[in-house]
Every structure is written in C-alpha cells, then in structure tokens.
Chain A
C-alpha cells in the first residue's frame, strides 16, 4: 500500500467521533494509593468495530492499568467505559463479554487443552463443547494436541491455546496484555502475523498493550502512545509515525531529529537551513524530522556535517553526524556508504512535523 508520506492533513484537527463505536472510554482515571501520582490520568478514546488498537508506552505508563480497567479487574476512580453504547464501568468482569489473554497465558494447569477451551463456552450446550473446542484449537493449528496438558506445550503453543480459549468465549472485544513478550524473537514475528490474520479474518476488535513500537506499528490499525498515565496521541500507525504530536511520541516511535527553528509560514529556519513544515506557523517552533528523511551527499567544501558514528544494518545504514556542535541522525539506503570522519552535505527531503511541546 502506497501512502503519501508528506501528509499535510491537519494533525491538530478535531477528534473524529465514531458514530457508533464498539468501545468508548471517557475520562478514565485511577490512583492506586493516595499520595501516589495518577496511574491513569483522564484517558479518552474510542474504538470501532473490527479495529485493532495498540496502547504503546514505556513500563509504568499506565497502559496495563487501562487494560485491566476495561477488563473489569480494576475499578476506575473516575471515568466511564461504554461497550456498544452500554455503560459497563460497574459490571463485574464475567458480565462484560470482554476476553483477555494474559502475559503469562493463565492456562488452567489441571485441565487439558480441550477442557481449557471448553471452559470458555458457557453459552454452548455441554454435549457440543468438546467438538467445538477442537474447532477452535484447529483454528490455531493445535487440534491434534487437544488431550495434552498445558505444561506439555512450548511457549508459543501455550500462547495459541490462550488465544483460542479467549476466542471460544466469543467476546465482543479481545484484550492482549503483552502477549508476544514471552516468545523468542523469531517466533514472535511469525506468531504476530498469524494472530493478526486470525483477528482480521474473524473481524475481532482488539486492544493490545505493548512497549515494543515495531509490534504496535505493524500489528495495529490505531496506535495510542501513553506516558505517565496520559494518552498523548492516538492515530493510524503511519500518521502517528509521520506526524507525532510531542517530542516524547516522536522519540518513542523511532529515531528522530528534534530541531529548534523559527517559523515563517510554511518554512522554518533551522540548524539544517530552511525546512518545509507541515502547517502554517509563525515564531519559534520545535520540529521532528525522521532520519530517513535526510539525505547525504558529497560536500563541495569543508562546511558539511561530519560523520561520527556508522551502524551498518544490511538494508540500510544508520549515521550519527555532527554539524555546528549539534548532533543529527540519518538513515540512508546501504548502496552508498560513507566513512567515519567524512564531510557530507545534510539535506532534509521531506516536510518536518511541528511538535506541540
């Protein structure tokens, strides 16, 4: 899918209120102990049917607490949670029809895989459960292991059983609490793809909590970045990456250059010279410019930037450069390589994003 990266759509625009959202969260706040800072601080968002949302942030940012309040395991101090327009804030977890896959999977060790999955089917007649459980296990490719006990499975298999069990309850919404973090790197990527395909095929709505930005960007339709209990920004992955609202969002989603500049209309004067900015502004501004949007070329004289560090990464190459005492980073395709100490010309190729802070 080709998307024009020079999106000039208004990032400060008013929220698009989904007309009939599956889930809407309003003013959610939670403090664990009086005197502590708020663990979750006035979080608002809504999620459409069939959408996958990733809540992304460093540990302790409040993303898991938010998830647990939606699931019903924590009571918010204030705020409301609506599912299908119905208030569920006071409902116990078992009446919410919201499924959750735990980080530790929480498979019942005294039940076989089939029994674990059948345990989720309260809405189905007892006699039909074993056959139906096999169908769900088949969906995750484990139908043959139905009689096994959870401790006889590998981590990846346990993860898939936990997923099948959650889906078997036919929930309105599935919550995933860092579900891929216990898998090794190779398995993680393939499982992620498979799980996403599964959710998309079933049209399931999902909220995923993670601290891995690559996971959030590749898995979700919407990414929300959280920091110290607040939801700083929520948007489609390509938008949030290209037009971050704050320097924290910009830096958490990947490498970036934070530039101070003086804006005059659509152009700002920065240490890298004039740079196009994404909307009309006057006066001092702070900009974010992604390293892959900088190009390097041979400097005609000694006035260019000096290459300080180089990290060859196969398909591309990451450089750290110094220019007038300021540091910049750039990522360029690896077909042209520069040496450490070389002088190069550093040129912005795309529009920089004006940050709010």
Chain B
C-alpha cells in the first residue's frame, strides 16, 4: 500500500516582506483597478504642480496663514454639526421603517431618500428665502423667523439633503441584523437599553461609519449651500480664490489641505472598521420581528411630519411659490425636456461608468485582500473628497496639456463625473459582494465556467441590487452637479443644474423653478425605481 514520506518540505525561504499583492489576482480585475487608481492620481499631480509653482517664501506664507486654521476649525465644526444632525434625522427614521409596525413603510422609505435629489443651492435658497423680514414665512403668515444663514444655515441645509446617505446605510444594516443575537442577549438578562448599546450598536457601527464618511466628505467638498449661506469653510474659500481673487496657488494649497482632512477621515474609518463583525456559526439568520409602537406612535408621526415637511416640503413649496408669484413664459417650460435630456444624457453614462469602475475595485478589495488592494480601494475616495472645483480644474489642465482631443468634450465631463462619484457607487456594490459567499464563484468555476460566464450567471444576479443602487446614487448626484459641469461641459451644453443656478443667481427665481422641479422629479423617480426593484 501507499506509504507516505513525511520529511519536511524544503520550500524556498519565504520572503520576510509582507506580500503587497496576492499573487493570484486575475488580470481582468487587476488592470481596471490600476487604471482607476492612475486616473485618481491625475488631479493630485495637477494640484501638486500648481501648489509648488510658488517660491519658498510665498509658500511658507500661504501654508501658515492664520486664516487657514480658522478655515479648518470652521470646516470641522460644520462637518461635526452635520454628522450629529443627520444622525438625529436618519436613525429614528431607519429604526421606524425596519423595526416597528409603523404603517406606509415603503412610502416613508422613498420619502427618506428623495431629499438626495434636492440640489444644495435650491435647499439653501429655500431656507434663506424662508426667514427674514421679507421672507416667505413673513409674507404668508406674518410670523417672522430670524434669517437662516451662517453656521446654522449651512449645517441645516447640508443635513437636509445628505441625511438619506446615512438613512440608506442604517436601513440595510438594521434589516440585516440577526434577531437571534438580540434574543440571546435578552435571555442572558440584558435590558433593552443595554442590548442596544452592547449588541445592536456595535453591529451598526460599520454602517454608521460608512454613512458618516460619505456625509463628511460631501460636506468638505460642497460649495453651493456653503457659499449661499456665506459660511467661511474651505470649499467656499477655494471658490472665492478661484473665481474672485484668482490666486490659483493658494487655491491649490487650500484644496490640498482639504484633501488631507478628508484623507484623515478615510484613515480613521478604516482603523475603526478593523474589528470584524462577521456572522459566526452556520445557523440561519432570522429576520427581526417588528416591535409594536403603541403610544410611541404619537411621537413618531409628528417627528416624521416635521422631518419631511422641511426636507421635501420646503423646497417644493419655495419652487411653487416662485412659480405662482411670477409665472414665467410658457417657452421656458418648452425648454425643460431638451435640457433634461442633456442632463440625463451625461449623468446616465457617468453613473454606468462609475459602476463599471467600482466592480473590479470591489472585487479586488473583497476577494483579494492585501495592503495594496486596500490602498487602491482608498484611492477611489480621492475623486469624491476633492472639492469638485479643484477636480474640474485639474481635468481642464490635464486635457489641455496631455489629451487636447478630450477638451470640451462630453466624454471628459462623463469621465470626471464618474471619478467624482465613484466612492458613492463603491459602497452598495462592495456590500452586496460581501454578502455573496466565495463558494458560489468557486462552485461555478469547478462546474467548468470561466470568469465571464461566472460573472454573467452567478455574480451579476447577486450584485444586481448593489449595482442598481450605485448607479442611482451617482445619477442623482450628477443630475444636480454644478462646478464640474461649469468647467468641463462643451460650450452650449447647458444642463438642468446650470440653468437653475444661472437663473437664480440672476434673480430670476420663477424661471429657474421648472428646471429645478425637473431635477427633483426625475431624480425622485429614479430613487423610487431603486426602492421598488429592491423588494424583489
């Protein structure tokens, strides 16, 4: 019979260096990932070139200006305020629609996502127009609110249209929670409050962190609402440097500082998420039973009414008010469809491109974990964390210098939009991939299917929801995107967002209204599509 020789193998001396890249990453995953990472480096290189144009004396002066510290404090205060306020808005809403017996769950969920579609400058105008002596509220009811502006105004405006990011993350986490965990904690004698703190919250932490990160980076880069509220944050300062003072070197330095702040948040996030919260054991996860609300209903409904009447009702009311106050010529309405097609015609390809970028990246990080793959994945955040203005200018510079055939083309706008929003598409795609066990793919391979047919028949059906969610998030963002469009859109390619912004800044609020309404309505429809597909 067979005898076994069991002397120790004389394998090659193992390298002491940690292997950067797992050896077996297939090329069809590795190459696109490297292309994405390289693309993300383009704006960084541009910023670096610009920043070091200055001689050393000016450089020291620029970097150590006391104003920078003030800008940093202002920006951090804004981010902290928005994180707190969005959590207050999103957590109860997510809990109500996933864990309680509240009625109209689907409608509430859709309404919880619609505010994403509201452009920041529309929300800011709505808030500004509400208060003050001549504010809408004073005109309509005689009640006079103090003018909403500055820190409070910026925090409120940003929170009102970014809280859906946190809501979406929390909703997924809460509905995926294994009820056995909470029930076994209860059987061990823990109170409801202790269970929330010791069992539920730790499991929600990854989703909370992911949501907070997306929101923080959004806040760092947003300039529409911040500018209108006249709040001195980094992004506003960058805008005034570019548009007014034309000090591009200082603007580049401000952008680099902002990027450093963003990078430290991304790092912080990955440090906190080191702890794994995987499901252990082979038992089947049981869905949670709905908690009856009982009397708490009388608290829940007023909360929901206030939340939605401010986040959706207010912008809608302001748009209608402008329209009724000074009805524009019908010809403006006739221009809406064409403008809409231009917006969607660039936003949809950008959304598909972002999802296509995100797929290999998600595979690399989920299936081939290594320090290198983490680095590549983190590079996806560069485009999102950079102030859109800085990103747009970098791409103008890049196309003029290196790829003149791209300048003033739709392709450049689409690519830049995809770069700016890649991080948004990554989240849902990565999460759905995490929920697909590798044994599925391996089973398919062992049945003779290569990477292509495995992707089409096994992986894609499992990722469809994640991909759709990523596409919708990017689409909605691009539909209202402003600074990049200004810089990169081909001449005459006016989108809905550009029309709204130019009309409002010229004081023609009523003429802006139909275009703004088109953004909100069509973005809401795509969000609705996302949530109805989800149930299947």
Contacts and interface: CB of A to CB of B under 8 A. Distances in A.
B448 A16 contact: no
Contacts of B9: 27, 29, 38, 41-42, 78-79
Interface residues of A, number: 58
A97 interface: yes
A338 interface: no
Contacts of B4: 15, 43-45, 224, 230-234
A239 to B, nearest CB: 6
Interface string B424-455: 00000000000001011011111111100010
Contacts of A233: 3-4
Interface string A213-249: 0000000001010000011111110010000000000
A72 B14 contact: no
A234 B447 contact: no
A31 B11 contact: yes
Given A104-B439, A108-B458, A110-B462, A166 B447 contact: yes
A110 B463 CA distance: 11
Contact of B15 (A34, A71, A78, A182): A34
Interface in B271-318: 282
B442 A106 contact: yes
Given A222-B2, A233-B4, 18 more contacts: A34-B19, A35-B14, A38-B8, A41-B6, A41-B9, A42-B8, A72-B445, A75-B23, A77-B12, A94-B449, A104-B437, A108-B443, A119-B444, A122-B448, A169-B446, A171-B446, A234-B1, A236-B1
Contacts of B442: 71, 73, 93, 100, 102, 106
Interface residues of B, number: 36
* A15, A96, A119, A234 interface centre (most CB from chain B within 10 Å): A119
Contacts of A222: 2
B461 interface: yes
Given A38-B11, A41-B8, A169-B447, A106 B440 contact: yes
B16 interface: yes
Interface in A319-354: none
Contact of B439 (A14, A16, A45, A106): A106
A100 B1 contact: no
B499 to A, nearest CB: 43
Contact of B11 (A29, A35, A224): A29
Given A34-B15, A77-B12, A119-B447, A15 B1 contact: yes
Nearest to B453: A122
Contacts of A98: 446
Nearest to A99: B446
A93 B11 contact: no
A33 to B, nearest CB: 8
Contacts of B1: 13, 15-16, 234-236, 239
Which of B448, B457, B458 has the largest count of A CB atoms less than 10 A from its CB? Answer: B448
Contacts of B458: 108
A94 B12 contact: no
Nearest to B16: A34
Interface in B447-484: 447-450, 454, 457-458, 461-462
A109 B12 CA distance: 42
B56 interface: no
Q: Interface on chain B toward A: helix, strand, loop, or mixed SS? A: loop
A93 B445 contact: yes
Contacts, number: 132
A96 B4 CA distance: 25
B5 interface: yes
Among B8, B440, B447, B458, the most chain A Cβ lie within 10 Å of the Cβ of B447
B2 A234 contact: yes
Contacts of A34: 14-16, 18-19
Given A31-B11, A182-B282, A46 B446 contact: no
B7 interface: yes
A190 interface: no
B491 interface: no
A100 B438 CA distance: 13
Contacts of B243: none
Contacts of B11: 29, 31, 38, 77-78
Given A106-B443, A169-B448, A16 B24 contact: no
Contacts of B14: 31, 34-35
A85 interface: no
8 contacts: A34-B14, A42-B5, A42-B6, A42-B8, A44-B5, A46-B2, A92-B450, A110-B462
B6 A104 contact: no
Nearest to A12: B3
A75 B368 CA distance: 14
A75 to B, nearest CB: 6
A165 interface: yes
B144 to A, nearest CB: 58
Nearest to A235: B1
B446 A122 contact: no
Nearest to B439: A106
Contacts of B7: 42
A38 B6 CA distance: 13
B443 A78 contact: no
A224 B461 CA distance: 40
Nearest to A9: B1
A142 interface: no
Contact of B24 (A15, A75, A231): A75
A309 B54 CA distance: 89
A100 B282 contact: no
Kindly list the 10 A-B residue pairs having the minimum CB-CB distance in the complex, ordered from nearest: A34-B14, A42-B9, A106-B439, A93-B445, A106-B443, A29-B9, A120-B447, A15-B3, A230-B6, A110-B461
A309 B8 CA distance: 41
A168 to B, nearest CB: 8
Interface string B209-248: 0000000000000000000000000000000000000000
B369 to A, nearest CB: 12
Contacts of A46: 2
Interface in A61-86: 71-73, 75, 77-79
